[in-house]
Homo-oligomer: A and B are copies of this chain.
Amino acid sequence: MLEDKNQAKTPLSELGEFGLIEHITKHTKLSHESTIKGVGDDSAVLGSSEKQTLITTDLMVEGIHFDLSYMPLKHLGYKSVMVNLSDLYAMNGKAEQITVSLAVSNRFTLEAIEELYAGIRLACETYKIDLIGGDTSSSAKGILISITAIGKVSEEDVVYRNGAKETDLIVVSGDLGAAYLGLQVLEREKQVFKVNPKNQPDLDNYTYLIERQLKPEARKDIRSLLKELNVKPTAMIDISDGLSSEIMHICSKSNVGCKIYEDKIPLDPQVISTCEEFDLDSTMVALSGGEDYELLFTVPVADFEKIKGNPHLSVIGHITEKLAGLNLVTRAGQELELKAQGWNSLAND
């Protein structure tokens, strides 16, 4: 689980709950004026504000959301923060604070928890987030991380899922499908390792895919990019369950239909080559893969000139009337109904 097998192994029971909290939080630095009181009282205290407060929360469960045989704990900590920040950026907001609750079985040592927190802290430093509270507990089995993220947004800037209008363009940041393929590569290596533990995997062809799976970055930059471009999305969501599932959320909340063009879906070259190798359809992977943590949003068609050719953004389709339904236009020009095949964490057990 840890890279250096000779490291100290301190049982958590040696510290107790308060000892562990103190140990974890003693180096916590706060970087937001709005964080008046962080860890160390019954609750955290945030300053009064003329802006609106955003609150989001996500669970990460061992064996359901991650497999520690190929997910290093530091990456797990980092990713569990990203998953939450992504939701705040999808509201066009700024992320400012998080609370972290942890349930761990007695197979985890203090050093393991420190690794996890090293990743959480790295995410906090990189994204300027204050860690302001949390809870720690034993679990009957495995590790579970529950993070709540708090952000700010002004009333004029907030973007919901329900504002998409007919003729609006559908835009996606970055590229899609890589995180899912990264998981497939790691799963395959795990099986190879089981059969032959001495086999040295050559992962050079999959570096981007594996990084997208193990160390995703939330799109903090899109908010400022859109401000610079003077574009305000009419609806926005982050892509955690796959493009298909997310566009359905926007269409259902906005009471509209959509048309997505297969040939416009942005794919990294490693996605295309690995799909060929694994005999997977790259469009299906982008539509249903999930865990991309890119942003999907709609903008008025009049804004096309402002975003056209921007290297961070791809226009992949447009909003239609509700009755037209949700459709994918294939490379061959055929129209197929979009189906949600997003990753369902409740069906996974």
- Name A's B-contacting residues (CB within 8 A): 12-13, 15-17, 20, 36-37, 40-59, 61-65, 86-88, 90-91, 93, 97, 99, 101-103, 105-106, 132-142, 144, 146, 148-151, 153, 155, 158, 160-162, 236-238, 253, 344-349
Contact = CB atoms under 8 A, between A and B. Distances in A.
A345 B137 contact: yes
A49 B103 CA distance: 33
Nearest to A89: B42
Given A42-B237, A151-B43, A346 B138 contact: yes
Contact of A12 (B16, B41, B63, B346): B346
Contact of A13 (B46, B103, B347): B347
How many copies of this chain are found per oligomer?
2
B47 A88 contact: no
B56 A45 contact: no
Contact of A56 (B20, B42, B139): B42
Given A42-B238, A51-B48, A141 B144 contact: no
Contact of A345 (B17, B52, B236): B17
Given A16-B347, A139-B61, A148 B55 contact: yes
Contacts of A17: 344-346
Contacts of A133: 55-57
Given A137-B346, A146-B146, A53 B53 contact: yes
A54 B43 contact: yes
Contacts of A63: 140
A11 B217 CA distance: 35
Contacts of A348: 138
Nearest to A246: B42
A122 B17 CA distance: 30
A341 B63 CA distance: 34
10 contacts: A15-B346, A43-B93, A47-B53, A53-B150, A57-B133, A57-B134, A59-B146, A105-B349, A137-B346, A139-B144
B253 A59 contact: no
Given A17-B346, A36-B52, A138-B345, 13 more contacts: A40-B161, A45-B54, A45-B91, A45-B153, A46-B52, A48-B155, A57-B135, A57-B148, A59-B146, A62-B140, A99-B148, A140-B141, A141-B141
